[in-house]
Structure formats: structure tokens, C-alpha cells
């Protein structure tokens, strides 16, 4: 992980993972964010990788998006993917109650894999342009976000691009603040490490 940051041109890299049931619009959100395009035809994703430079609060950073498969067929390989993630967008469709119920499982799996209650996490209700076909009441969504320790809840539309940038940028901000926290916590140790490395170099 640290190696990758070093190998890139110096900008911070934030790894975002899209999770959620099949067909809720994870890929649509990703493609809309990445390329400003809305893909109408549905093709189930296996695992897609995207990375680009963005300017986050005046600072150039890289965002790496791992777009995962929503289908149950791939549930077994999710663990591996989740491990590398630094932040999660947990997506469901407001027109599909089942996808909303599934978020509970995703949340649990992420917490199990990451073993971290405060992992950067956003609950995203997609397809809000289809409000007339809404099956999941807004209050219920907000309630669940509350129960999960106050994670933010945002409604988006990959079709109209509503809040698309917002969810990605909000998540990146959370990841960034988590990283600065971590580095300040373990600053002493990193110092030690660097010293040791230096020594090794001289020895070699």
C-alpha cells in the first residue's frame, strides 16, 4: 500500500470501494464520476478498477475506485477486495427495498474484514430521479445511517449526476482526515522505521 503511494507521482492516493447489491448503480455512479457519462445498458460488473487525478480542496490527489460485483456469485472473493479499501460507498437503490436490506450484510462484512468501526463509510441511496417509484422511505434510510454510528446518508442519481461528485469527495475527505489521524498517532514508530532503514542502507 505504502509502496504504491510512493511509486505514484507524489499525490496522495485514496482507495474507494463501491459495494452494494447487483443493479443498484455502482458502476453507473463510478462512470458518471469518472467520465461524465451515463450508461443505459446493464452489464453486471466483476471487478473494475479506475484511477484518476482530482483536486480535493485545492490539493491534487489520486482517487482509486474499485467497482465490485454486486451479485451473490462473487460474494466469496469480496473479502480480498475489501481488505485493500480505505473508504466505502455502500450503495442501494431507493426503488428496491431488497437492495436496502442487503446493505446491512455489506456493512457487517466490511467491519469484519477491516476490523474498524470508524472506517470511512457513506450510505448512498441511488436512483433518486425515480422518486415516484421510491420503495424505501427517506426516514428509514436516515434511521439506518444513524444506527451505524452516524454515517452520512446521501441520495444520488447517476442519471442526473445529482450528488455524484459529492459522495466521492465527501468520502475522500473522510479518508484524508483518517490518514492524518493515523499518521499523528503512530508518528513515533514511523520515525523509528525510517532511522532503521537509513542504518540498513549504510550497512549495505
Partner 1 sequence: MAPPPLVTGISPKEGPPGTKITIRGENLGVKANDLIGVQICGGDCSFEWQSRNKIIARTGINGTKGKGDVIVTSLSGGAGTSTVQFRTYTEMIGPLKESAVWVEESPVQSLAWGRRTMAPSGYSQEDPLGLSIEGNEKKFPDDLREIFPEHSGDLSRENFSPCWFLLENHHATSFDDLKAGYSFLKRKVEGQKEGQLSFLKTHVSAVIDQLDTLMNLKTKMEIEGEIDLAKRVNNLQGTIEKSIESSHELFDDVLSRREKADKARAALSVLNRYKFLFCLPTNIEKNASKNEFDIIVNDYARAKNLYGKSEIPLIQKVLAEVDEIILEIRRKLHQKIQEMPQGVEQQKRFVKSLINLEIQQVGTIQSEKLKIVDPAWGAIESRARYIEQTFKNTYEEFQERENSMKDNSKRDLNAPPIRVLFCEEITEIATGQFPDLWRLGQSYFTGELRGINEPKPGNFKQIILNAIERFCSYVRAAILPQNQKFQAVASWAFTSSSQLQQFSTWLPTCLRYLRVSYASLIRLDLPGEALDIVLKLIDELRLFCLTTILKRAIDKVKKLHEKETWELTVPEFPGATALPSKLEEILVEVLDEGQQICLMMEVRENPLFDTPNSEGHREVAKIVETILSCFSNVVEELATERSDDEVQHMPKQLIGFPTNSSLLPHSINLTEAKSTISSTITITWEHRLLCCLANSAYCNKTFINSLGNLFVKFGYPIPKLALENSRTIVNNVFSNLLEIYVEHKSDPLVSTIEPSMYIVSHFKWNRVEKFDNLSPYTHECLDNVVSVYSEIFAVSPFLLRPILEQIIQTIAEELARLMSCVEEFNVIGKKQATLDIRMIRDVLRVYSNERAKASFNEALESIPKLANDENREVENLLAIIKQQMKLQLMCLTVLNP
Which stretches of the chain bind partner 1, using CB under 8 A?
Answer: 27, 30-31, 34-35, 37, 45-52, 62, 64, 66-67, 73-74, 76-77, 80, 83-84
Closer Cβ to partner 1, 34 or 138, answer by number: 34
Closer Cβ to partner 1, 12 or 47, answer by number: 47
Shortest separation between residue 160's beta carbon and partner 1, angstroms: 20
Backbone angles phi, psi at 25, to 5 degrees: 115, 25
Shortest separation between residue 62's beta carbon and partner 1, angstroms: 7
Q: How many CB atoms lie within 10 A of CB 7?
A: 9
Shortest separation between residue 194's beta carbon and partner 1, angstroms: 21
Length of the chain: 204
CA 13 to chain CA centroid, Å, is: 13
**CA distance linking residue 5 with residue 13, whole number of Å:** 6
Closer Cβ to partner 1, 3 or 185, answer by number: 3
Please answer whether residues 23 and 93 qualify as being in contact, where contact means their C-beta atoms are separated by less than 8 angstroms: yes
In 3-state terms, the chain is what percent helix, strand and coil (to 5)? 50, 25, 25
**CA distance linking residue 82 with residue 76, whole number of Å:** 11
Shortest separation between residue 78's beta carbon and partner 1, angstroms: 12
Q: What grid cell was written down for 128?
A: 433518486
Closer Cβ to partner 1, 63 or 136, answer by number: 63
Shortest separation between residue 34's beta carbon and partner 1, angstroms: 6
Closer Cβ to partner 1, 55 or 143, answer by number: 55
Amino acid at each position: 500500500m505504502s509502496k504504491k503511494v510512493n511509486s505514484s507521482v507524489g499525490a496522495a492516493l485514496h482507495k474507494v470501494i463501491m459495494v452494494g447489491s447487483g443493479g443498484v448503480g455502482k458502476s453507473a455512479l463510478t462512470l458518471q464520476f469518472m467520465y461524465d457519462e451515463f450508461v443505459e445498458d446493464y452489464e453486471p460488473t466483476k471487478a473494475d478498477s479506475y484511477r484518476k487525478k482530482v483536486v480535493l480542496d485545492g490539493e491534487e490527489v489520486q482517487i482509486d475506485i474499485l467497482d465490485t460485483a454486486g451479485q451473490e456469485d462473487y460474494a466469496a472473493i469480496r473479502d480480498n477486495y475489501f481488505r485493500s479499501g480505505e473508504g466505502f460507498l455502500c450503495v442501494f437503490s431507493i426503488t428496491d427495498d431488497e437492495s436496502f436490506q442487503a446493505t446491512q450484510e455489506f456493512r457487517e462484512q466490511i467491519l469484519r474484514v477491516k476490523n474498524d468501526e470508524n472506517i470511512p463509510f457513506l450510505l448512498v441511496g441511488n436512483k433518486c430521479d425515480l422518486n415516484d417509484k421510491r420503495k424505501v422511505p427517506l426516514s428509514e434510510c436516515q434511521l439506518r445511517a444513524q444506527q451505524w454510528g452516524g454515517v452520512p446518508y446521501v441520495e444520488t442519481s447517476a442519471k442526473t449526476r445529482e450528488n455524484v461528485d459529492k459522495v466521492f469527495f465527501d468520502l475522500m475527505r473522510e479518508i484524508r482526515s483518517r490518514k492524518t489521524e493515523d499518521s499523528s498517532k503512530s508518528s513515533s514508530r514511523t520515525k523509528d522505521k525510517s532511522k532503521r532503514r537509513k542504518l540498513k542502507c549504510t550497512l549495505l
